[in-house]
Structure 1
Amino acid sequence: MSALILKDFYVMWKQTKVLLIIILVFSCLPGAFYPTFAVIYAAILPYSAMAYDERSKWDQLAGMLPYADRDIVLGKYLFGYLSIAVAAGLSLVIQTALTLFWERASDNLSPLSTIPLAVCVGVCVLALTLPLMFRFGVEKGRLVMFLIIFLVCGSTGVLTGISSDSLDGGYYLSLALPAAALAAVVLTAVSIPMSLRMYRRRRA
Structure 2
Amino acid sequence: MAHAVTIATLGHLPSRDNRLGLRSRDQEVLPEALRRFRDGLGPALQILRSLAPVYRAVYCPTTLRHLTSARVVSDLFGIPAPVPDARINNVDYGIHKGRPLEETPRRSAAVDGPYEGGTSWTHVAGQWRSFFEDRLRRHDGQAVLLAGQSGACPVMMAHICDDVPLAAALSDPRLDIPLLDARGPAPSVSVWTYRWR
TM-score of the two chains, using structure 1 as the length reference: 0.28
- Greater fraction helix: 1
- Greater fraction strand: 2
* Structure with max Cα Rg: 1
Between 1 and 2, higher relative CO (CA 8 Å, sep ≥ 6) is seen in 2
TM-score of the two chains, using structure 2 as the length reference: 0.29
